[in-house]
Amino acid sequence: MSYLDLSIREIHQALVEKKTTPLELAKEALERAKANNDNAFEMLLEEEAILEASKLVEPEEDNLLWGIPYCLKDNFSTKGFETTASSNVLNGYVPLFDATVVSKLKEKKCVLIGKTTLDELAMGGTGTTGHKGITFNPYDPSHTHMVGGSSCGSAAVVAAGIVPFALGSDTGDSVRKPASYAGLVGMKPTWGRISRYGLFPFAPSLDHVGFFTRDVEDSAILLEALSGRDDMDSTSSFRPVDSYLPKEKSLKGKRIAVLSEIVDAISNKEVRASFDRAVKAMEDEGAIIDYVKFGLQDLEAIYATYIVISCAEATSNDANLDGIKFGAYHGGKTYREVMSNARTEGFSHLIKRRFIIGSFALMRENVDVLFTRAQKVRAKITARVNEILKDHDTIFLPAAPSPAPLLSASSDALSDEYLIADNHLALGNFAGLPSVTVPLSFVDGLPIGVNFMCRAFEEKELYNLASAFEKISGLAGLSTVSPKEARL
């Protein structure tokens, strides 16, 4: 245990009292990073971090993030530092500008320790497809279970206690699912709450900036720092930024919807039992639990709808990666050859498969039955989610049907369980609603999490609920460095 393992507020207190310094924190984070063997880093920024941290001498008492070390998924643009999104197509690409969230954390004097791995171009949920290979789960020294993705490296570095927080991105569940597998608080707010400027797009209508922390209050501190209108992202909201720090932590009278088809589809008895205990404990605290039927057909349609929309948008967003302007260049006699060589060499076959699906869905002869239909299904599902949230304060579910799966397990299995219980976090992306994963318990020594989703821009309510839940679970501050006893 060290100051690095405390909550952000506690670290801040120690910094203000000069019990530790940003430089000490950065050095320790770097040491832990170098000792870690989960393959979580694209790039460690050792010299830069030490340089920046040593400039931070006088603590800013009103800035909770002053001097806090952090890591960044390698799909956020960083001025002057190679950013590849774990894809060979972007090898050598050094951006000319910082993503808005990076600028904001710079202003807060956070210290960037390193850039973390991801599934190639953030497309994937296993943490196995980036150009640096598999990123492992810190809870599994045997390296047989995944940490999940696509924000695999960011999940691993926070779970391994290297940094108190790390940024990720979430298009389907790329922060909130790995948060479940890595025992973390994984948050994505309302679409438009945080600027996406500088986040490499996967599917902009579904993309969100998200982040991993070890407790709910840390998450709220970050949201406050990262939120707000940004003219560089015209989809960012003009709504004033709230204070998100959880205050009212009672569950009394809260109306909580549990989607019964999803819970019923879970085959892992321990996950189910743990979740049921959680429901019971919340009821004991005065929450009103409603088991709501969402509509099986719509739930089954989530995966296909997601694949069609996300692949269609991705094939267009990544059309800029042609070797002409930046990124890896592989020669060619004509512009067609240059583009074709860059893309053939640069993308893995999984990415090409997504582009083909996306192009196919947009083709003139298919667009009505695939893309346009998917848009309609998305609208229908969104309407259903909002309908449920009209009568309930939140939708509460297991974040995943199981702890982190084996790396050897097929990721293509389209079982009922997979379709219904492994993809529901995308509801939050379809509807653009705030959604947070919080640790629930352990199964076979691996963490599992639950997820809360609230109405648009009700992040404050979301954090109140998550914070109350954290009190019940007893898992605030969890990492492999500071293990906790599960209660549920």
Q: With CB under 8 A as the contact rule, which of the stretches 181-189, 201-209, 218-226, 480-488 interacts with other proteins?
A: 201-209
Query: Of 349 and 364, which has the nearer Cβ to other proteins?
Result: 364
Contact call for residue 204 and other proteins (CB under 8 A): yes
What's the rounded Cα separation, in Å, for the pair 15 and 344?
A: 50
Contact set for other proteins, span 317-336 (CB under 8 A): 318-322, 324-326, 335-336
Q: Count residues binding other proteins (CB under 8 A).
A: 45
Instruction: Give yes or no for a contact between 256 and 287, defined as CB atoms under 8 angstroms apart.
Output: yes
Q: With CB under 8 A as the contact rule, which of the stretches 91-99, 110-118, 129-137, 181-189 interacts with other proteins?
A: 91-99
Which residues are catalytically annotated? 73, 150, 174
Contact call for residue 382 and other proteins (CB under 8 A): no
Contact call for residue 205 and other proteins (CB under 8 A): yes
Query: Of 313 and 461, which has the nearer Cβ to other proteins?
Result: 313
Contact call for residue 485 and other proteins (CB under 8 A): no
Q: Which of 77, 88, 402, 467 binds other proteins (CB under 8 A)?
A: 77
Contact call for residue 194 and other proteins (CB under 8 A): no
Ramachandran category for residue 109: left, alpha or beta (phi over 0 → left; psi -120 to 50 → alpha): left
* 228 to 257: interface string for other proteins, x by CB under 8 A: ---xxxxx----------------------
Find the shortest distance in angstroms from Cβ 205 to other proteins: 4
Q: With CB under 8 A as the contact rule, which of the stretches 170-178, 195-203, 280-288, 415-423 interacts with other proteins?
A: 195-203
Contact call for residue 359 and other proteins (CB under 8 A): yes
Contact call for residue 374 and other proteins (CB under 8 A): no
Contact call for residue 182 and other proteins (CB under 8 A): no
Contact call for residue 393 and other proteins (CB under 8 A): no
Contact call for residue 368 and other proteins (CB under 8 A): no
Q: What is the dihedral of CA 84, 85, 88, 89, to 10 degrees?
A: -80
Contact call for residue 481 and other proteins (CB under 8 A): no
Contact call for residue 103 and other proteins (CB under 8 A): no
Query: Of 20 and 235, which has the nearer Cβ to other proteins?
Result: 235
Contact call for residue 214 and other proteins (CB under 8 A): no
Q: Which of 4, 15, 71, 85 binds other proteins (CB under 8 A)?
A: 85
Find the shortest distance in angstroms from Cβ 103 to other proteins: 12
Find the shortest distance in angstroms from Cβ 339 to other proteins: 6
Find the shortest distance in angstroms from Cβ 350 to other proteins: 19
Contact call for residue 86 and other proteins (CB under 8 A): no
Contact call for residue 312 and other proteins (CB under 8 A): yes
Q: What is the 3-state secondary structure (H, E, C) of the chain?
A: CCHHHCCHHHHHHHHHCCCCCHHHHHHHHHHHHHHCCCCCEEEECHHHHHHHHHHCCCCCCCCCCCCCEEEEECCECCCCCCCCCCCHHHCCCCCCCCCHHHHHHHHCCCEEEEEECCCHHHCCCCCCCCCCCCCECCCCCCCCEECCCCCHHHHHHHHCCCCCEEEEEECCCCCHHHHHHCCCEEEECCCCCECCCCECCCCCCCCEEEEEECCHHHHHHHHHHHECCECCECCCCCCCCCCCCCCCCCCCCCEEEEEHHHHHCCCCHHHHHHHHHHHHHHHHCCCEEEEECCCHHHHHHHHHHHHHHHHHHHHHHHHHCCCCCCCCCCCCCCHHHHHHHHHHHHCCHHHHHHHHHHHHHHCCCCCHHHHHHHHHHHHHHHHHHHHHHHHCCEEEEECCCCCCCECCCCCCCCCHHHHHHCCCCHHHHHHCCCEEEEEEEEECCEEEEEEEECCCCCHHHHHHHHHHHHHHHCCCCCCCCCCCCCCC
Contact call for residue 202 and other proteins (CB under 8 A): no
Q: Which of 212, 371, 430, 452 binds other proteins (CB under 8 A)?
A: 371
Contact call for residue 482 and other proteins (CB under 8 A): no
Contact call for residue 42 and other proteins (CB under 8 A): no
- Residues forming a β-bridge with 255: 288
Query: Of 222 and 321, which has the nearer Cβ to other proteins?
Result: 321
Residues lying near other proteins in the complex (CB under 8 A): 76-77, 83, 85, 90, 93, 95-97, 99, 196-201, 203-205, 231-235, 312-313, 315-316, 318-322, 324-326, 335-336, 339, 359, 362-364, 367, 371
